[in-house]
Amino acid sequence: MAARGRQMTLSLPPFTPAVTWLLGINVGVYVAMLLASMVVPDAFAWTWAWFGLTPFLVMHGYVWQIVTYAFIHEGFMHLFVNMFGLWMFGATIENAWGTRRFVELYTVGFLGAALTSIAISYTHVLGSPRTTTGGASGAVMAILMVFGMIFGDNEIMLIPFPFLIRAKYFIGILIVVTVIFAMQDRGGVAYVAHLGGLLFGYLYAKFVPRGGFHFVFSERFYGIRNGYYRWKRRKAAKKFEVYMRKHAPEDSFYVPGDQKNSSSRDKHDPNTRGPWVN
C-alpha cells in the first residue's frame, strides 16, 4: 500500500526471483507435510520432532535443525503471515540489493534467530531448551528490520487498519511489542527467535559491505593470495642476490641490494648499476 499525496493506493510488489523460490519452497514443504499426514497420521508431529528447532537436540547432534526449522510451519495462518511478509517487504529489498545479497540476508536472519533461541533457552530465563520452534519468522523479521533501515520514510498500511505509518516507526513498534511478548511468553510464539532475526538483520545491514559476504571473502582470499605471491618474489630475489654474490664476474655491474641502499653510494654516479647484470 502506497500513498500519493494523502490518497492511499494499492501497490503490490513483483515476484522477484529469490522471493519466488522461497515462497515455493516453504509452500511446497507445507503441502508435502499435509499430504504425508493424510497417509501417516503422525507425519506432522514426526516432521516437527526431527526438523523443528529444539535447542536440546541441536546440542546433542541434531545440527541440521538450525536450517530445516525455517522451512516448516505449524499451520496455514503461520505460513500465510510469514510468506505475505516475505513477499511484501522482501521483493523491495531484493530489487534494491540484488538476489545474492537478499538471500544472504534471509539466511543470516533464520540462522541468527536459531542461534539466539538456543543461547537464550539455556539461560532458563526465556523459553526452555526442550521447546521446539519452527517457521520463517526469524528471516522475515530480519527483512522487516532492513526495510525499516533503508526505506524508513516509506509509508505502509497496517492491514486491516486503514491508516498509513512510516516504515521506521512500524519497525520501532514491532521491536517493542516483540520484546514485551518475549518477556511474557505469549501464546507459545517464539518471540525470542523474532528478536534474534531483528538483531541479526540490523547487524547485517550495518556492518556487512554492500557486496555482501561474497565480497568480504573474495577480498580476503585475494589479499592472502597476493601476500603469498609477494612473499615468493621476495624469497626469489634473496636467492638471486646470494647467487650473484657467489658467481658474478668481477667486471660485472652487479651491486648487492645492501650496498645499493647504503649511504656511501654515490647516487649521481652514471656508472652505478644494480642489482642486475648488464
User: What are the CA-CA distances from residue 184 to residues 127, 132, 167 (Å)?
Assistant: 10, 18, 26
pLDDT digits (tens, 9 = 90+) for 153-207: 888 876 666 778 888 888 888 888 887 877 766 445 578 889 999 999 999 999 9
Percentage of residues in the chain with pLDDT exceeding 70? 72
Instruction: Give the integer Cα–Cα distance in Å for 73 and 174.
Output: 21
* Least confident segment among 22-31, 72-81, 163-172, 175-184: 175-184
In the predicted structure, residue 130 carries a pLDDT above the cut 80:
yes
**pLDDT of the residue at 134:** 93
- Grid coordinates 554492500 are at which residue? 210
The reported pLDDT for the residue numbered 252 is 54
Q: Which amino acid is residue 73, in one-letter code?
A: H
For residue 155, CA distances in Å to 146, 149, 197 come to 15, 13, 22
- Residues 211-256 have pLDDT tens digits of 775 655 555 655 676 666 676 777 777 777 776 666 655 555 555 5
The cell numbers describing 114, all together, are: 536459531
* 272's grid cell: 652505478
Q: Where are the domains of the chain?
A: 2-208
- Angle between helices 76-97 and 17-39 in degrees, nearest 10: 160
Measured distance CA(137)–CA(67) in Å, rounded = 13
Rounded CA separation 188/198 (Å):
19
For residue 211, the model assigns a pLDDT of 74
Q: How far is CA 149 from CA 4, 20, 118, 172, in A?
A: 22, 23, 27, 11
Residue 75's Cβ-count burial label (10 Å; 0-12, 13-18, 19+) is: exposed
> pLDDT at position 163, please?
75
Q: What is the pLDDT of residue 6?
A: 44
- Better pLDDT: 112 or 266: 112
- With 0-12 CB in 10 A as exposed, 13-18 as middle and 19+ as buried, what is 135? buried
Task: Say what the pLDDT of residue 277 is.
Answer: 43
Most confident of 10-14, 27-31, 212-216, 235-239: 27-31
The average pLDDT across 41-60 equals 93
Q: What is the CATH number of domain 2-208?
A: 1.20.1540.10
Contacts of 271 (CB under 8 A, 6+ apart): 253
83 to each of 17, 146, 152, 202, 219, how far by Cα in Å?
Answer: 14, 17, 21, 21, 35
Mean pLDDT of all residues in 122-129: 79
Q: Which of 125, 108, 113, 132 is nearest to 57 (CA)?
A: 132
pLDDT of residue 187: 47
Q: Are 120 and 113 in contact (CB under 8 A)?
A: no
- 49-53, 91-95, 148-152, 246-250: least confident range: 246-250
Instruction: Please give the pLDDT value at position 259.
Output: 55
